[in-house]
Amino acid sequence: MIIDVHAHWGPWFFTMDVGTAATNLALMDRYGIDLQLVSASEAVIYDPAGGNRRTAELLEHDERLLGYLVINPRRLDIAQRDLAELLPGGRFVGVKIHTDYTASPVGSLQTTDALALAAEHGLPVLIHTWDAAVLDLAQACTDIPSLKAIAGHMGGPGWRHAIEAARGCPNLYLEPCFSHFEAGRVAAVAAAVDPGQLLFGTDATLIDPAVALGAVYAAELPPGVLDSLLWRNAVDLFGLHSLVRRIRDAHGPERLARTAD
Amino acid sequence: MTSGARYLPGIEPSEVCDCDVLLGRYPDRPGPVGDPASVRSLLDRLGIGQALVCSLRGALWDHASGNAETSATSEPGFVAVSTVDFRDPLRAERTLESLAEQGRKVLRLFPEEQHSEPDFPGVRLVARRAAELGFLVLLGGDVRRMWRPFAGLGATVVFLDTHFYHLGDLLALARDEPGFHTSTRLLNSPDALELVCADGHADRLVLGTRSPLCEPAVPLLRLAKSDLDDATRAAIAGGNLRRLLEGRT
């Protein structure tokens, strides 16, 4: 089984045609991804309120997609309203924060407040991290003990900082997506970090899942670690046990056993 | 699937040709040693039979001894790629003329490693002479900038660092420059390969992995899972590059 904890839906401003959720589902089928946690590109880049609502509509139609509620740390008033209105639907399971598009570094006051808000609601936070910013995220996890944070891209080229950050911080999780794929990156992180802190993310539909999957397969992880990374840790972190049981009932136990095919 | 698996079913390793393989290592960063035998072994495990290899010695320090080192590799399937240094364009020009006389007309250029911008006079000289002498040029750097010194020369170029963020720029260039090609290495959005083909440029795509510094499984898996027919996939895996190599090695 594969659970992708870092995905988007909607159009991008690059030369690509991935504007509808049909692309998400086609890619999931192509690569054997069972569940995908998505945020709207619209919400990430420009309009969180509008994008979050369009994600809510989307989530009504396919059980394989779950939602991230996007928070712009500069607009916590919007975030409060979105949380109040959209969480009761039960299809949003986490919060997404992009530090660059909102010019809100991990260590800024507004992002600290946004992380605290998510923690108050018991929602894991996927947050964009680059280079040494992942160390600031570890500090936030220490300062907000109830926070569970996922370092998106595990720092990108700064993945060695991600190792340092995760080793001192059990409520910090790492996911590997990155369009540049330095050899040995996933294997080195998996060898140095508690397997319980590893997650799988693709950055689809911006990036094709071949990138993250290829890098994970190339790492040749022990089967138990591979299962933890690809889905088991996500089930525990996001509380997806009943949903996974339904998938098992619908598709048979072999669906859960074909992780590395 | 593991890194030992072949990613391109239906395409024999001897038909797969990688435009972007490096020997040696960067002294300023960790990474594999890049000795020829270990690189050959890595490519074998992934089903890559042919590879255009170039030594970082030539890119970073001395192109004469680097080219000699590359030429001395005897690993099967390795095609030696020469290099010159933009920072000494006059020596580079002499080297290009010598290589051309020997029929060795595959050249890799490293503008970023040599801190050379596309508007530097030395870059213009090297680009002009490489085009005049009929080299196949494997070119690093940002395609949005590095196209300039090669434009309008009838040059045959493979851009090695084309990121899918810049796909629109590449397609705009392809309309005017029939000799411009690109590595698939960073064309890893869900539809980049397919969009290039839909725009009529399937013959401009060549497989590139940057082994052993990058994970070769990634572009292989992307190509294997592409929404392309078998003939196009095979051309991208090796046929297009072999066509560019004809008469140049």
Interface mutation vs chain B, best among A12, A211, A213, A230, most B CBs within 10 Å: A211
The confidence band for A257, taking pLDDT boundaries of 50, 70 and 90, is very low
Nearest alpha carbon to residue B123 among B162, B66, B84: B84
- Is the minimum CB–CB distance between B151 and chain A shorter than 8 Å? no
Listed residue (A148, A215, A207) closest to A188, CA to CA = A215
Please indicate whether, in this complex, the C-beta atoms of B217 and A205 are within 8 angstroms of each other: no
Token pair listed for B172: 């705009």
Q: Touching check for B165 and chain A: CB below 8 Å? A: yes
Phi, psi of B156 (to 5 degrees): -105, 115
Position A86 pLDDT exceeds 90: yes
**Where does the pLDDT of residue A254 fall: very low under 50, low under 70, confident under 90, or very high at 90 and above?**
low
pTM over 0.80: yes
Task: Name residue A244's amino acid.
Answer: V
Q: Is A258 a residue whose pLDDT tops 80?
A: no
B179 has a chain A CB within 8 A of its CB: no
Write out residues in chain B with pLDDT < 70, as ranges. Answer: 1-5
Radius of gyration (C-alpha) of chain B in whole angstroms? 17
In percent, the amount of chain B with pLDDT more than 90 equals: 93
At A258, the amino acid letter reads R
Q: Which of A17, A218, A260 is closest, CB to CB, to B191?
A: A17
Q: What is the pLDDT of residue A168?
A: 85
Residue A260: the pLDDT is 39
pLDDT in tens, A162-183: 999 999 899 999 999 999 999 9
Residues 6 or more apart whose CB falls under 8 angstroms from that of A187 comprise A218, A219, A220, A221
The residue behind tokens 């290829």 is: A214
φ and ψ at residue B109, rounded to 5 degrees: -120, 145
- Which residues in chain B have their CB less than 8 angstroms from residue A204's CB? 190
Nearest CA-CA distance, residue A94 and chain B, Å: 25
* CA-based nearest residue to B186, from B157, B211, B166: B166
Work out the average pLDDT over A147-161.
97
Q: Does B188 touch chain A (CB under 8 A)?
A: yes
Q: Is the pLDDT of residue A105 over 70?
A: yes
The CATH number given to B13-245 is 3.20.20.140
Task: With CB atoms and an 8 Å threshold, state whether B195 touches A16.
Answer: yes
Mutation target among A217, A226, A230, A259 for the B interface, most CBs of B within 10 A: A217
> At CB < 8 A and 24+ separation, what contacts does A162-167 make?
A162/A129, A162/A134, A162/A189, A162/A193, A163/A188, A163/A189, A163/A192, A163/A193, A164/A135, A164/A138, A165/A134, A165/A135, A165/A137, A165/A138, A166/A138, A166/A193, A166/A194, A166/A197, A167/A192, A167/A193, A167/A194
Q: Which CATH number fits domain A3-257: 2.30.110.10, 3.20.20.140, 3.40.47.10, 1.10.10.60?
A: 3.20.20.140
> Across the interface, which of B171, B211, B212 has its CB nearest the CB of A15?
B171
Task: Give residue B1's pLDDT.
Answer: 56
Percent of chain A with pLDDT over 70: 96
Query: Exposed, middle or buried by CB within 10 Å (0-12, 13-18, 19+), for B37?
Result: exposed
SS3 label, residue B206 = strand
ipTM score of the complex? 0.94
| Residue in the structure block whose two tokens are 């070119």 | B139
pLDDT at A157 over 80: yes
pLDDT value at residue A247: 81
Alpha carbons B49 and A85: distance in angstroms, whole number = 57
Distance CA A3, CA A204 (A): 12
Residues of A in contact with B220 (CB under 8 A): 214
* Binding-face residues of B in 86-115 toward A, CB within 8 A: none
Class of residue B169 by CB neighbours under 10 A (exposed 0-12, middle 13-18, buried 19+): middle
Output the average pLDDT for chain A. 95
Q: What is the pLDDT of residue B31?
A: 85
Domain spans in chain B, listed from the N-terminal domain onward? 13-245
Task: Please indicate if any CB of chain B lies within 8 Å of the CB of A258.
Answer: no
Of B101, B57, B102, B103, the C-alpha closest to B83 is B57
Interface size A-B, in CB pairs within 8 Å, comes to: 99
Element at B43 (helix H, strand E): helix B36-46
The sheet that has A65-70: what strands, in order across it? A3-9, A35-40, A65-70, A92-97, A125-128, A149-152, A172-174
Shortest distance, CA B247 to any CA of chain A (angstroms) = 33
Shortest distance, CA A95 to any CA of chain B (angstroms): 24
- CB contact (8 A) between residue A181 and residue B215: yes
Which one-letter amino acid corresponds to residue B186?
L
Taking only Cα atoms into account, the Rg of chain A, rounded to an integer number of angstroms, comes to: 17
pLDDT for res B29? 83
Residue-wise pLDDT for B69-79, tens only, equals: 999 999 999 99
Tell me if A207 and B189 make a contact (CB, 8 A cut-off): yes
State whether the Cα torsion A233-A239-A245-A247 is positive or negative.
negative
A182 and chain B: CB distance < 8 Å anywhere? yes
The residue ranking higher by pLDDT, A81 or B28, is: A81
> Is the bond preceding residue B83 a cis peptide, omega within 30 degrees?
no
| Phi-psi domain of B231 (left: phi exceeds 0; alpha: psi -120 through 50; beta: other) | alpha
pLDDT tens readout for residues B216-226: 999 999 999 99
- Chain B positions in Cβ-Cβ contact with residue A215 (cut-off 8 Å): 215, 217-218
